[in-house]
């Protein structure tokens, strides 16, 4: 790093990727800073600088000691180990050590006491909530929400007739022909685990999944203007049931609250919906299959005079961006749900849903809100067709 670059960083001050420290003497303190950066997007720890960005400098004997401390922390006090780089920069005010910590490939990282640290602005904080830990393990592919058993859920809580019809349609044989216990069939299909129905099995075939997971509904509201008005709405509904029932309910809600465009058809023809059907299909299914089920919150479906907003709990997984999903890139958050949804819902998988919707209708905005931990699709209604 050149001195000029260092001075520019110091002038800007601390942020989520740059931490200033006058010195380190404790390996655990250094390890915690490394863990927080590795669990985020990586960054630099600049040693020999106070919190105000003023260079206090290091002695030559500090450099050797700090290099050994960095090596010990990275290999013994960070789990799994990481590979930081150190660089010494000479300035008029003294030596400064820059420790570069790369973004980790095996998140979540912990210190030697099993604590998970993450960046919180320019500071760090310890992760203590189980929900946040689960999301971090999910991002690493170590655990998936849809594969976790649902305590108390049994075969009695499932619509076995719907499952029988699904099994026969997909595998071209009846359950009776399989000659194994129904529960074992569920386990073989990844819909049960350790003697219990898992979340995928409950969401796909449950009689009333909200009995066990009441937050997993869709809250749909129609507002008469272009902004949220808690005192005035034209239509509202809490949509529940299994995924197929929720999809049908959400689609019906949008359909009855959109206008029809007559076009060149005759006066007795019903006209086409102002938003193409395929757009609604793709985006509604996407919200149900790919939302974050570690977050106990509903999907929100808002219809305004000028737009439709579809808000799903959970930002895009890992470092997937709106630009990438526009191009068809995907990262499977709920693999069990996705593997069965293609046989139950109008879902084609493989990251093709959003590109297909955009091809059919261009006035769609995609917003990945990482700070608010939600994903929002905005479908703009065409002027003159929603009046």
Q: Which domains does the chain have, with CATH numbers?
A: 3-128 (3.30.950.30), 146-209 (no CATH), 218-380 (3.30.565.60)
pLDDT averaged per 10 residues, the chain (length 387): 93 95 94 95 95 94 95 94 95 95 90 92 89 77 86 93 94 88 92 90 97 97 90 93 97 92 58 88 95 94 96 87 87 88 84 88 94 94 59
Q: Look at residue 387 in the predicted model and tell me its pLDDT.
A: 41
What pLDDT, on a 0 to 100 scale, did the predictor assign at position 370? Answer: 86
Alpha helices in 216-268 (DSSP H): 243-256
Distance CA 207, CA 157 (A): 6
DSSP E strands, the chain: 18-21, 43-47, 78-79, 85-91, 94-101, 110-111, 117-120, 123-126, 192-193, 196-197, 218-222, 235-239, 260-261, 272-273, 299-303, 307-313, 364-369, 374-380
pTM, two decimals, is 0.73
**Closest by alpha carbon to 43, among 108, 107, 86, 101?**
101
**Is residue 204 within 8 Å of 150, Cβ to Cβ?**
no
- Write out pLDDT tens, residues 150-201: 999 999 999 999 999 999 999 999 988 888 888 899 999 999 987 889 999 9
Please tell me whether residue 348 adopts helix, strand or coil conformation. Answer: coil
Among the residues of 242-384, which ranges form H helices?
A: 243-256, 277-290, 322-326, 335-341, 353-360
pLDDT of residue 171: 92
């Amino acid at each position: 790093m050149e001195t000029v670059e260092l001075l520019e960083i110091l002038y800007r001050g601390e942020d989520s990727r740059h931490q200033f420290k006058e010195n380190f003497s404790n390996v655990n303190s250094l390890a915690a800073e490394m863990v927080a950066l590795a669990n985020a997007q990586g960054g630099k720890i600049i040693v020999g600088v106070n919190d105000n960005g003023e260079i206090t400098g290091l002695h030559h004997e500090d450099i050797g000691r700090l290099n050994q401390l960095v090596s010990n922390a990275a290999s013994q006090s960070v789990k799994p180990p990481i590979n930081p780089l150190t660089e010494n920069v000479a300035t008029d005010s003294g030596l400064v050590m820059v420790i570069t910590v790369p973004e980790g490939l095996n998140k979540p990282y912990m210190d030697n006491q099993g604590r998970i640290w993450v960046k919180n602005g320019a500071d760090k904080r310890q992760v203590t909530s189980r929900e946040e830990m689960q999301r971090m393990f999910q991002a690493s592919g170590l655990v998936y929400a849809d594969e976790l058993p649902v305590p108390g859920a049994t075969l009695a809580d499932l619509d076995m007739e719907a499952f029988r019809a699904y099994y026969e349609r997909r595998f071209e044989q009846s359950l009776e022909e399989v000659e194994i216990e129904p529960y074992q069939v569920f386990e073989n299909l990844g819909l049960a685990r350790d003697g219990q129905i898992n979340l995928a099995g409950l969401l796909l075939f449950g009689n009333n999944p909200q009995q066990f997971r009441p937050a997993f509904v869709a809250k749909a509201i129609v507002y008469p203007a272009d902004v949220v008005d808690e005192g005035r709405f034209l239509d509202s509904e809490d949509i529940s049931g299994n995924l197929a029932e929720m999809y049908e309910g959400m689609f019906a809600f949008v359909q009855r609250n959109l206008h029809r465009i007559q076009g060149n058809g005759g006066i007795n023809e019903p006209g086409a919906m102002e938003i193409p059907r395929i757009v609604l299909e793709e985006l509604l299914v996407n919200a149900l299959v790919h939302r974050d089920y570690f977050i106990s919150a509903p999907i929100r479906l808002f219809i305004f005079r000028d737009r439709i907003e579809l808000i799903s709990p959970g930002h895009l997984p890992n470092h997937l961006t709106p630009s990438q999903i526009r191009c068809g890139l995907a990262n499977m958050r709920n693999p069990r749900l996705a593997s069965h949804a293609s046989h139950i819902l109008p879902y084609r998988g493989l990251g093709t849903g959003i590109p297909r919707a955009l091809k059919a209708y261009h006035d769609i905005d995609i917003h990945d809100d990482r700070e608010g931990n939600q994903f929002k699709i905005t479908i703009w209604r065409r002027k003159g067709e929603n009046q």
